Amino acid sequence: MENKEIELEFSIKSGAPEKQRTACVVVGVFENRKLSGPAIDIDRASDGYLSEILRGGDMEGKAGSTLLLHKVPNILADRILMVGLGKERDFHETAYRDAIACTVKTLRDTGSMEAAITLSEIPVKKRDVTWNIEQAVITTYDALYR
C-alpha cells in the first residue's frame, strides 16, 4: 500500500455560506429534518431547495448520514454536503467531533480538494466557537491519518 502524504491548509473565513466560491459547502441537519443556521441560509438563498430535499425523505438528519447535492440553485459552491447531526438536544462534544469526522471522510471519498465547513457555527453544549474550530482541526487530522 502506497503511503500518500496529504497537505492540509486551514483558514477561517466569515461570510454567508451561500456566497462561498468553493468546491463544497458543508451544512448540518438535525434529526426530524431540522436545518442548522448555515443550512437555513442556504435554504433561503436556494428558494427552499434544501427543505424540498428533506421533505422528499432523502435525509432525516440521523448522526453519521450524509447527502451530497450538486448544482443547488442560486448557490456559488459546486456542491452542498448535508451532514446528519442527530438529535439537537444531544449535540455535545462527541456528537460534534463525530460530525466533523464524518464530513472529512465523505469529502475524502468524493475527492473534494477544498470545502467550506460551517459546522463550527453550530452551538455545542458548554463550548464556544474557539473550541469548535480547534476540535475541527484536530478531528480532521485524526480522521485523515487513521
8 Å CB contact between 18 and 112: no
Q: What is the pLDDT of residues 102-131, one digit of tens each?
A: 999 999 899 888 899 999 999 999 999 999
8 Å CB contact between 118 and 27: yes
Q: Which residue is listed with cell 434529526?
A: 31
Looking at residue 36, the DSSP 8-state letter turns out to be P
H-run or E-run covering 46: none
The domains of the chain are located at: 18-144
Which burial class, exposed, middle or buried, applies to 8 when counting CB atoms under 10 A from its CB (0-12, 13-18, 19+)? Answer: exposed
Residue 7: its pLDDT value, please?
Answer: 61
8 Å CB contact between 101 and 143: yes
Q: Which residue is listed with cell 434544501?
A: 50
Q: Which residues contact 6 (CB under 8 A, 6 or more apart)?
A: 144, 145
Q: Which CATH superfamily is domain 18-144 in?
A: Leucine Aminopeptidase, subunit E, domain 1 (3.40.220.10)
Q: What is the pLDDT of residues 43-77, one digit of tens each?
A: 999 999 999 999 999 999 999 999 999 999 999 99
pLDDT class for 1, splitting at 50, 70, 90?
very low
